[in-house]
Structures are given as C-alpha cells and as structure tokens.
C-alpha cells in the first residue's frame, strides 16, 4: 500500500519575487527552447534557473547542476523561498476550459514512500536513460524535489473528495494563471492521518514524471548505500482521483523524421478531418505524408485493444523509435511534413486513465511519450527540500 506523509515545503515569497506567474513553469520536459529562453528572462527567481538551467559548457565554471544548487541556496538565504509552518499536505486545484466546458482537477500534494516498480506504484510508459541521468545529476546537486511526480488512483475516494471540497472553499496559500489560461490554486492542509488512511488501499499509476520517479529510485539506492534510510526514501507527488476528477489525457503525436512505413487507410481531405475521425475505442489514427509529391492525409484503424498508441507502435512504428519526435500539437506535426523536415506525421486520439490502467492490468507498458495528462501541476508552486 502507498505510504503517504506530510512535509515542510518551500514557498515563494511573492512580496520579494513578484507574482507566481513570473517564477513558475510547466514541467521541465514540456518546455520548448523558445519557452525556456522566455522563462529565463521572466525573472532571476524563475524556477527554470534551477530545473532547466542553461548549458553554458564552460570548462572553467560550474556546470548547470552546480549553478542550480548555488542559486537555490542563495534564494533560501535571501528569503525568496520560505518554509511552510511545519509539515502539511497541500490541496491543489487546476481550473480550465476544455471543448467549451468549464472543468477542474483537484488532488493532494504529499510525500509518498518510494517503491520499486510493481507494487502499489506502477508506471505506464517506457523511460529513456538520458533524461533519467540528467534528473539524477540535478538531484545530486540540489537535493530537492523541484516538481511533483503526478499520479492517479482509481477511486472514487469520497473522504478525500470531501476534504478537498472543504479545503478549496478557503483562501489559497498560492494561486496563479498560467500561459494556457489554467488557474492553479493551492491550500495548506493539516495532518490528522485521514488522507493516509483513506488512500491506503489504492494503487498509484504514474501519470507524469516517469523519469523523475525512476531517478528517485536510483538516488534512494545511492543514498541508502552510503547513509542508510533517510528523506531520500520519499518523493513529492500530486495524487488525483481518476474516477472523481476524470483528468483529460491528451494525445502526443508522432513525427517520423527519416524512413517510411507502410500506411493503409482511407484518404481524407485534410488535418481537420483526421482530427474529427480519431477514435481510441476504434483504434483509429491518422497520418500525413507525401505521395507522388502531394501531401496526403489518411485515416486508418488498427487491431487489438486501446490505447491506440500501443497498437500503433506494435503494428506500424515498430523499430523506428530512434527516428521519432513527439508533440501534442497536431498542426506542428503536420507542418514538419509539409516543410520537408519529416517523412510522416502520425496523429493519435485522446485516451483516458481507465484505458491506461486496463493496459497495465493486462501486463502491458506503453511506449515513451504516449500520454499527455493535462493540465499539469506547476513547477515552483511548492518545492520540497530533503533537508
């Protein structure tokens, strides 16, 4: 069962650093190079300076990981980051508009004791060694969880839902509106053990943060070998009830940069028609590629069980992982083909947490970058130092 506990976090002092819009970011692996530059210039206290520092490649100076550690120490000493008043859980809410409907997703930020894969914490995507190593080098330097691993549980869990309903009626500890128009709010919760007891029988499915969780396991093992048990045995997570909150799971489209794959299917008028035809239950996907010097759009169906992305990699994209790029933006994927930077773009339907969990229960694992749980918790709203 997942072991859940409160923690002392670090919060930005907005009287010193300005509005949270200027100092927080999306998760590091969703930030484009242009966005990275924009966040770097937004504020000298923007969390991107810690989480995704510039690689200056200076042989004489500190690397980006050591610069992050130095900046974090300075911010704490200056009072830009201040500790919370004792250990706590934190209610987190994201309000947004989706397909013309006002929505919200709520969850609890807490510490979760690390478990090796296969117990009450399960992954759904493959990981890559490069990002894990990058996050590990950063963790060794800063010794801090800069962002939450995002997990969902099956639910419904009525006690936690009722607790969040009460908590979210009060004045928030932190709030901001991000560049996509999502309203993020967080409240500090007392700890009477109710959250831990209520979630004791749940299995946590990692929604976002597979590389960070894998890194945390490696860091835990390194530190245990040298120091024994300690704060490295736990990681900061946002836990969301999939049944109660129904978090949107958007697709991540595939861009094939080299080579070609055989594609069948019905030819359609354009990208808009492809997007209208996508269907996860029917395993229906789309593709854009040049045929006889003309950009052609097709819709095709796969066999098997959803999510569609797994069937696509097994039946169409097998063996081409090294030639793939990923984007949640369908227009961007099509544009790569139109401009000759890619040989094909593959468009996937949205899925949901229940279908992902069904695949895991069948003993399957989805390919890397298969799902885009959205919205995502904001990096920097709450930070958890291991000290």
3-class SS of residue 99: coil
Which tens digit of pLDDT belongs to each residue from 222-235? 999 999 999 999 99
Looking at residue 125, its pLDDT comes to 81
Looking at residue 60, its pLDDT comes to 56
Is the Cβ–Cβ distance between 263 and 316 less than 8 Å?
A: yes
3-class SS of residue 374: coil
Looking at residue 92, its pLDDT comes to 98
Supply 133's token pair.
């190593």
Which tens digit of pLDDT belongs to each residue from 134-163? 999 999 999 999 999 999 999 999 999 999
Which tens digit of pLDDT belongs to each residue from 49-94? 999 988 766 555 679 999 999 999 999 999 999 999 999 999 999 9
DSSP 8-state assignment for residue 379: B
Residue with tokens 């117990």: 119
Q: How far apart are CA 60 and CA 75, in angstroms?
A: 24
- Positive/negative CA dihedral, 59, 61, 62, 64: negative
Is the Cβ–Cβ distance between 114 and 46 less than 8 Å?
A: no
DSSP 8-state assignment for residue 322: G
DSSP H helical segments within the chain, as ranges? 14-17, 33-42, 48-51, 64-78, 129-142, 158-167, 194-198, 210-227, 242-245, 271-277, 308-315, 330-338, 353-361
Read off the pTM.
Answer: 0.88
Is the Cβ–Cβ distance between 280 and 263 less than 8 Å?
A: no
CB-facing half-sphere around the CA of 309: CA atoms within 13 A: 29
Looking at residue 319, its pLDDT comes to 87
Looking at residue 353, its pLDDT comes to 87
Report the 10 Å Cβ neighbour count for 48: 26
Q: For the residues of 31-92, what is the DSSP string, one character each?
A: --HHHHHHHHHH-TT-THHHHS------SSS--HHHHHHHHHHHHHHHTSEEE-SSSBEEEE
Q: How far apart are CA 377 and CA 20, in angstroms?
A: 13
Provide the pLDDT confidence category of residue 1 given band limits of 50, 70 and 90: low
Q: Is the pLDDT of residue 382 over 80?
A: yes
Q: How far apart are CA 26 and CA 182, in angstroms?
A: 11
- Positive/negative CA dihedral, 126, 130, 135, 137: positive
Which tens digit of pLDDT belongs to each residue from 11-25? 999 999 999 999 999
DSSP 8-state assignment for residue 383: B
Q: Is the pLDDT of residue 261 over 80?
A: no
Provide the pLDDT confidence category of residue 27 given band limits of 50, 70 and 90: very high
- What mean pLDDT is predicted for residues 297-326? 93
């Amino acid at each position: 069962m997942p072991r859940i506990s409160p923690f002392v976090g670090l919060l930005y002092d907005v009287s010193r650093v300005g509005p949270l819009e200027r100092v927080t970011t999306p998760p590091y692996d969703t930030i484009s190079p242009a966005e990275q530059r924009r966040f770097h210039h937004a504020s000298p206290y923007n969390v991107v300076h810690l989480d995704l520092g510039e690689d200056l490649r200076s042989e004489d100076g500190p690397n980006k990981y050591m610069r992050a550690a130095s900046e974090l120490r300075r911010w704490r000493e200056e009072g830009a980051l201040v500790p919370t008043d004792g250990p706590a859980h934190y209610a987190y809410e994201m309000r947004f508009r989706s397909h013309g409907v006002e929505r919200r997703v709520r969850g609890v930020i807490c510490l979760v004791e690390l478990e090796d894969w296969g117990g009450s914490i399960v992954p759904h995507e493959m990981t890559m060694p490069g990002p894990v190593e990058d996050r590990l080098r950063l963790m060794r330097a800063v010794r801090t969880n800069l962002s939450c691993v995002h997990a969902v549980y099956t639910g419904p869990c009525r006690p936690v839902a009722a607790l969040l309903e009460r908590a979210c009626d009060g004045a928030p500890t932190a709030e901001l509106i991000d560049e996509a128009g999502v309203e993020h709010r967080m409240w500090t919760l007392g700890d009477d053990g109710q959250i831990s007891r209520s979630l004791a029988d749940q299995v946590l499915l990692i929604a976002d943060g597979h590389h960070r969780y894998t890194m945390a396991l490696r860091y835990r093992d390194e530190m245990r070998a040298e120091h024994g048990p300690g704060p490295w045995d736990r990681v900061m997570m946002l836990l969301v009830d999939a049944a109660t909150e129904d978090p949107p799971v958007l697709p991540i489209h595939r861009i094939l940069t080299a080579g070609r794959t055989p594609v069948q299917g019905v030819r359609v008028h354009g990208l808009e028609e492809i997007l209208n035809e996508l269907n996860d239950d029917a395993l229906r996907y789309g593709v854009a590629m040049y045929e006889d010097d003309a950009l052609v759009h097709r819709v095709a169906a796969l066999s098997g069980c959803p999510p569609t992305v797994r069937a696509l990699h097994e039946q169409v994209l097998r063996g081409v992982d090294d030639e793939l790029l990923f984007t949640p933006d369908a227009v961007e994927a099509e544009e790569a083909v139109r401009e000759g930077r890619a040989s094909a773009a593959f468009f996937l339907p949205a899925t949901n947490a229940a279908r992902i969990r069904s695949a895991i229960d069948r003993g399957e694992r989805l390919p890397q970058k298969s799902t885009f749980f959205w919205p995502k918790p904001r990096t920097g709203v709450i930070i958890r130092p291991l000290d």
